[in-house]
Amino acid sequence: MNKLLTILAVATAVAGCASPTPAEKPQSARNVILFIGDGMGVSTVTAARIFDGQSRGLAGEEHVLAFEEFPNVALVKTYNTNQQVPDSAGTATAMMTGTKTRAGVINVSPDAARGSCAGALENPLVPLSRTAKERGLAVGVVTTTRLTHATPATVYANSPERDWESDKYLSDEQWALGCRDIAWQLTHPDDEAGLDIAMGGGRGEFVGAGGNRKDPAADLIADWLAASPDRQFVDTAEGLKSLRPGANVIGLFSRSHMSYVARRKPDTTQPMLAELTAAAIDHLAGSPDGYFLMVEGGRIDHGHHIGKPGYALVETQAFARAVETALARVDLDDTLILVTADHSHAFTLAGYPTRGNPILGLVVENDRRGEPNPSPSVDADGVPYTSVGYANGPGAVRQVPRPEPETGVYSVAQALVPVVHTRVDGSPDNGETHSGEDVALYAIGPGSDAVRGVIEQNRIFDIMRAAYGW
C-alpha cells in the first residue's frame, strides 16, 4: 500500500503540480482505461471509504480510496433522455457513444423506441471501442456481472433491449428482421477478430444445455473457438496465467453473475476483479498502437438492489483494488485512467454517529460534552437505527413501531418505500432503485485536465476521444 501511495503522489505531482512545459507534456494518450463502478454514487464512495479504512483498523473517515487522490474531478449528470433517474444501458451508452439515449437500450439512438428491432437497425450508435478497433487499437472489457449485461455490452453490441442477452426473449420475427441477441453479437463480430479480450460471468447466455438459449444444442463459445485458431477460452482464475499473446480471449467464470465478494468460497475458481484487470492490461499491452479497456465493478449495483449495503461496500472495496492494480501496471505519461459510476442509488448515510462509528452498525451519538454515549441512539419510538439505509427497497418497514434493524455485512438495511416492478419474465421485483443525483468522475493521465466542473455524461466520450487525439 505504501508503494501505491508513493506512485499516486508522484503521478499527482506530474499531472497537476509539476506544471510540465508543452514540450514535456504528452500530446495524446496511447491507452485509455474506463473504470465504471456500477451504482457507485457519492454516498457509496463515502461509505466505502469509511468501510475500507475501518477494515484497516482506522476510524475510517480520514481514509481515501486510491482513485480519490486523482488530481482531476468532475460531477456528472446521469439522466436518460426519457427518464429523470436512469438505468445502466442508457448511461453506459452515453459514455461509450457520446449520445444520451433512452433507458434500456444498448448503443441505439433515442429516435428508436425501446424494444423496436426495426428502430434499432435504423438508428445505431457507434461506440468508441469500435472506432478504436478501426484505428488499430486493441480493445477489452472485464466485469463482475454477466458479460452480456448492460454496461459491458455497450463495448461491442447494439440492441434495442438490454434484456436480449440471449435469444430467449428475441422473437423469430425480430431475428428475421436482422436483430441478434447480445451473446451472439460478442461471438459473431463484424470485423471477424472482435474484442481482444472479454471476461466476466454469464456462460448461461451462450449455451442451450443448462443455459438460456432456445436451441438445447447451442454452444456459441464452441462455435466461436472453432472459427479461428487465434481464439482462446478460459473459465478459471488459474487459466488467466496461460493467456496466449495475440489471441482473442473470452473468459466466462460463472453461469450468471460472478459471486459477491462477501459470499466467495475458499475453493472458488473465480478471479477477483483486480486479477481480471491485471490479466487484461497485460494482454492488451502488447498492442503496438495502444488499447481501450473498460473495467466494470458491476455487483456494487446488485448489492444495493437487494438492500445489502455491506455487499455493495465490499464490492466497492474490490473495485478500488482493481484501480490500484491498474495504477501499478501502466505508465501515466501515456495512459488516461477514468473512474466513474453510471448512476447512483437511493442509499443514504445519515444520523449523527460519533467519529469512527462502525459504518454498518447501529448509530451511537455523542453526548452534550461531545463524547460517545455508552449505548446506541434510539428514535422517537425507542428503537435503535443504523446510519446507512435506503429510500426504498426490500428492507422497507411496514409496521409500527419499527423493528430493531439488522447490522453487519450480510444484513438487509431498512428502507422507507416498498417499491415493486415487473421483470422481463413477468415476475415481481421489489429491489431498491437507482437515484438521479450526479456521480463523480475521477481522472489521471493525459487528457485528464478536461475533467472538471459539472458535465453531461456523454461528455466522457468526448474526453476519451480528445485524449487519444482524435
* Cell (9 digits) for 93: 451508452
Q: Could you tell me if residue 289 is inside a domain?
A: yes
* Cell (9 digits) for 1: 500500500
Does 22 sit behind a cis peptide bond, omega within 30 degrees of 0 on the bond before it? Answer: no
Arithmetic mean of pLDDT, 280-309: 98
**Most distant CA pair in the chain: distance in Å?**
73
Residue-wise pLDDT tens digits, 317-349:
999 999 999 999 999 999 999 999 999 999 999
**Model pLDDT, residue 16:** 38
Q: Could you tell me if residue 203 is inside a domain?
A: yes
Number of domains in the chain: 1
Q: Using alpha carbons only, how large is the chain's radius of gyration in Å?
A: 22
> pTM of the predicted model, to two decimals?
0.94
Taking residue 9's Cβ as centre, other Cβ atoms within 10 Å add up to: 12
Arithmetic mean of pLDDT, 240-268: 97
**Model pLDDT, residue 20:** 41
**Helix ranges (DSSP H) in 111-201:** 117-122, 128-134, 150-153, 172-177, 182-187
The confidence band for 25, taking pLDDT boundaries of 50, 70 and 90, is low
> Is residue 276 predicted with pLDDT exceeding 50?
yes
Q: Could you tell me if residue 7 is inside a domain?
A: no
Q: Could you tell me if residue 360 is inside a domain?
A: no
> Is residue 219 predicted with pLDDT exceeding 90?
yes
Arithmetic mean of pLDDT, 25-32: 83
Q: Could you tell me if residue 407 is inside a domain?
A: no
Residue-wise pLDDT tens digits, 133-165:
999 999 999 999 999 999 999 999 999 999 999
Q: 339, 297 in Cβ contact below 8 A?
A: no
Q: 74, 441 in Cβ contact below 8 A?
A: yes
Domain containing 240 equals 32-349+432-468
The confidence band for 257, taking pLDDT boundaries of 50, 70 and 90, is very high
Q: 212, 168 in Cβ contact below 8 A?
A: yes
Residue-wise pLDDT tens digits, 392-435:
999 999 999 999 999 999 999 999 999 999 998 899 999 999 99
* Rounded Cα distance, 61 and 153, in Å: 36
Residue-wise pLDDT tens digits, 63-119:
999 999 999 999 999 999 999 999 999 999 999 999 999 999 999 999 999 999 999
| CATH number for the domain harbouring residue 96 | 3.40.720.10
Tell me the catalytic residues: 88
